[in-house]
Chain A
Amino acid sequence: MKILTCPMNGPRNIDEFQSFGPMREAPDPEVASDADWARYLFQAENQPGVVVEWWRHVPSNYFFLAERDIVTNRVLRTFDPGEAE
Chain B
Amino acid sequence: MIQQVHPRNPGGAAEGLALPKGPLDLADLTAAPRFGLKGPGSTDWLIGHGAALPEVNRLADWQGMRLLRLGREDLLLLAEGAGEALDRTLESWRAHPGPRGWSAWREEGWAWFRLSGPAQDEAMARLCAVDLRPTIFPGDRIAQTRICGVEAVVLRGGRGFDILFDITLTAHLIGRVAAATHDLCQREVEP
Which residues from 125 to 181 on chain B have a C-beta closer than 8 Å to any C-beta of chain A?
129-130, 143-146, 151-153
Which residues from 39 to 79 on chain B have a C-beta closer than 8 Å to any C-beta of chain A?
56-57, 70-71
Inter-chain contact total with CB atoms closer than 8 Å: 29
Q: Does A73 contact B (CB under 8 A)?
A: no
Q: Number of B interface residues, CB 8 Å?
A: 13
Question: Is B129 a contact partner of A9 (Cβ separation < 8 A)?
Answer: no
Nearest CB of chain A from residue B168's CB, rounded to whole Å: 16
Q: In the assembled complex, which residues on chain B have CB atoms less than 8 Å from the CB atom of A8?
A: 56-57, 71
The stretch from A21-29, A35-43, A47-55, A57-65 touching chain B is: A57-65
Partner of A12, one of B71, B130, B151, B153: B130
Question: Beyond A8-B56, A9-B57, is A59–B71 a contact (Cβ under 8 Å)?
Answer: no
Question: Is B129 a contact partner of A58 (Cβ separation < 8 A)?
Answer: no
Q: Does A16 contact B (CB under 8 A)?
A: yes
B: residues with CB less than 8 A from A are 56-57, 70-71, 129-130, 143-146, 151-153
